[in-house]
Amino acid sequence: MDFKTKLKNYATYTDMKLDFYLPALENDQKSIYEAMRYSLLCGGKRIRPVLAYSSAELLGLSKDDVAPFACAIEMIHTYSLIHDDLPAMDDDDYRRGRPSCHKQFGEAQAILAGDALLTKAFELSGIGAIELANKMPEQAARGAAIIRALAIAAGSEGMVGGQVIDLEGEEKELSAETHETLCALKTGALLTIPVAISVIYAGMLHTPVGDMLIRYAQALGLAFQIKDDILDVEGDAALLGKATGMDEKCNKTTFVSLYGLDGAKARLKKLTDEALGICADLTEIFPERKDACSFLRELAIFLLERNH
């Protein structure tokens, strides 16, 4: 199976699972499910679940093993986007080419939809932990470790912490070090945790292979943010589904503002090369799983070359 077909299959599988885990309900609070599903099921590349499935495959697991956790991450990511678009945050009217959740349902409902998605994510993580314990009773603690790692990645030492630095840095020129910390937390944490979850599930935490996979995800996470910064300068608003040039308009510190467009592109290539080097090493370690290693390699290139 070629890379694009497999990537699409992973995304389709994720959409199916999300629809299953979050059905539309006809109850007194049905409006909250409508708002949650509006933002959660609006498509996207599903890169975070893809990272969970592909790293799981490399480690001898199936996508079904990590699906509850992968979908939980996507719910956390979606809640963060809903809240990020609010007037009190980035005040964006559009997300993926259509009205943001608060423009469609109102600010109060958007806040509640984000809250509900975050809570649902930990319900799903509990389901995943129970399934793991049923499959491997002697390894039940791995489920608890995954939930803890997910909470850290989503909270004040992860994505939320990065958003705090971002808000406090508005109209200021952040140092390169502070900006890198911001990106590692706000963007990188939720791109690293899918791989970390597969590593923990497989019992490979703090092993050479586990460390290599996490370094791969960390490189991709930072590269992903650099690419976003570049696309805000030279991307197509129609493809992105949102306005471009907003970083400069809001006087935000970005990799482009710190290093220039050419410097940001050079850093992006360096991080991508680092990820590709790790994939080459993994191929030597797992020659029998060459296809899984190849997919991770192609994923790094795909993120480097994406236009939205």
pLDDT in tens, the chain (308 residues): 899 999 999 999 999 999 999 999 999 999 999 999 999 999 888 999 999 999 999 999 999 999 999 999 999 999 999 999 999 998 889 888 899 999 999 999 999 999 999 999 999 999 999 999 999 999 999 999 999 999 999 999 999 999 999 999 888 889 999 999 999 999 999 999 999 999 999 999 999 999 999 999 999 999 999 999 999 998 887 777 777 888 888 788 999 999 999 999 999 999 999 999 999 999 999 999 999 999 999 999 999 998 88
Q: Do 125 and 72 meet the contact criterion of CB atoms below 8 Å apart? A: yes
> What is the extent of the structural domain holding 201?
3-305
What is the separation, in whole angstroms, between the first and last Cα of the chain? 24
Q: What is the pLDDT of residues 127-156, one digit of tens each?
A: 999 999 999 999 999 999 999 999 999 999
Number of folded domains that form the chain: 1
Q: CA 261 to CA 215: how far, in whole Å?
A: 25
Assigned token pair, 271 = 């991080």
Q: Do 255 and 225 meet the contact criterion of CB atoms below 8 Å apart? A: yes
Q: CA 268 to CA 6: how far, in whole Å?
A: 24
Assigned token pair, 290 = 């060459």
Whichever domain contains 201, its CATH number is 1.10.600.10
DSSP 171-210: TS---HHHHHHHHIIIIIHHHHHHHHHHHHHTT-TTSHHH
Q: CA 82 to CA 77: how far, in whole Å?
A: 9
